Copies of this chain bind each other. A is one copy, B any other.
């Protein structure tokens, strides 16, 4: 086993354990036992538990966002359907065995601003998600993407939290319905804005 394979095995074990039990509740020795990597090599690869936590969060961010984007891009080009597909994907995720909410929200709730690295990683993750939602929203409703995406982000995070606390049932569907209503509202206000602008031009 070379260092690269050890890194992956440690990260795999850390991901499973951190996500299931939280950051503070899993010890280095749990990760060592689950990964089969010796303590010495583990510390050579990661240096400290803090670094391992950061690596876990970084990899989770990448994997989570690319899984979402892949699903959404596969549903086709209709902008409105793309936004709604986000919630279909969330529904699939919520139903996975072992689902326990958003790794970042959980980590941030556990450590808060006391752990600046974790807080920063959480902010980066949510900002990237907001940027992605903004792209989707802008395509569905040009000119109102920013405001719509801010609202969609609330619905997404709310659905994740509700699914984690209450179990999967219904949160994704409620989120999808809310998103549809927000899309309609944004579309209506866009139409009203265009109408008003045209009147201004005519007058």
Q: How many residues of A contact B (CB 8 A)?
A: 49
Tell me, in angstroms, the Cα distance from A166 to B165 when the chains sit together.
Answer: 22
Q: How far is the CA of A153 from the CA of B174 in the complex (A)?
A: 10
The quantity of this chain's copies bound in the complex is 2
Give the CA-CA distance A156 to B154 in the complex, in Å: 8
Shortest Cβ distance from A150 into B: residue: B174
Encode contact with B along A158-192: 1 for CB under 8 Å, 0 otherwise. Answer: 11011011100011001101100110111000000
Complex alpha-carbon distance, A179 and B105, angstroms: 23
B24 to A24, Cβ gap below 8 A? yes
A74 at the interface (CB under 8 A from B): no
Q: Which of B150, B165, B178 lies in contact with A151, CB distance below 8 A?
A: B178
